[in-house]
Amino acid sequence: MDPDDAKARMRAMWGLGDYSRIAERFSSIADELVGAAGVGPGQRVLDVAAGTGNVALAAARSGAVVTASDLTPEMIALGRARARDEGHHFDWVEADVEDLPFGSADFDVALSCFGVMFAPRPEVAVAELARVLRPGGRLAMASWSPDGPMNRVTEAVARRMPRTPDAADPRDWGREDVARQRLAAAFTEIQCRLAVFVWRFDSAGDARRFFETCSPPHVAVAAAIGPQAAAEMFDEIEAIVGERADEAGAVALPSDYLVVLARRPAA
């Protein structure tokens, strides 16, 4: 499968489910990312793979001049409406991180919260991020790590998801050594910090219903493998989550993520 076909599948997948309910859970990470990047008034900021706009809105609240980009039209429509509801008006652009439709050195800061990690060709994405940043411009990314209890849930889906030959594993962006190696070709002053987000559910069954209805990858894989295999997948996920339940049945499921900061060389 060529990269264009892979992206077409990805574009279709992220239009499924109800990603807005997922994104609202980790909006605090967007605030963290914007703060770590030192975003301030008047700075030109690009949110790459913006989803429903967590990072773009956090940057706009800081007074930045924001452009939000995403591969999926459904995400852009949701994000644009959300921004409008909050009284923010900035550009939303349908865009592929491997072929960004912006000029060289157009931005002071590029941000991505669990977005760039899904690009099938990381080296191409890194080159594009560097190109659109001005010399001395900053990059800040958050990527899910392959470590931690939540990865068992992710693996239950990934194991059943058709893989594009030669496409990178998105979770590799959550490995510090890999992130540093990928960015070193175009960035300096690379800093990495591991953090933890906790998914909370009233019960294992509540978690199952959440993933069944909201998560685009879960919904896409379930449709692809058929009802019986999908039921087995969600049974497995419910059992994994249930291992973390407390006496009242509530679940706290830690998910590690890597925050990476880097700078495009000034010269």
Give residue 263's pLDDT: 98
Give residue 10's pLDDT: 82
Over residues 58-67, the pLDDT tens digits come to 999 999 999 9
Of 61, 50, 62, 64, nearest to 20 by C-alpha is: 50
Give residue 1's pLDDT: 46
122, exposed or middle or buried, with CB in 10 Å at 0-12, 13-18, 19+?
Answer: buried
What angle is formed at CA 170 by the lines to CA 204 and CA 200, rounded to 5 degrees?
25
CB atoms within 10 A of CB 203: 16
- How far apart, in whole angstroms, are the C-alpha atoms of residue 127 and residue 255? 28
User: Which residue ranges form the domains of the chain, and what is each CATH number?
Assistant: 3-146+164-197+257-263 (3.40.50.150)
Give residue 2's pLDDT: 60
Of 138, 126, 120, nearest to 184 by C-alpha is: 126
Phi, psi of 94 (to 5 degrees): -75, 120
Of 198, 194, 193, 175, nearest to 255 by C-alpha is: 198
Give residue 3's pLDDT: 64
Give residue 188's pLDDT: 98
Which regions of the chain are under pLDDT 50?
Answer: 1
* pTM of the predicted structure, to 2 decimals: 0.92
Q: Strand pairing partners for 88?
A: none
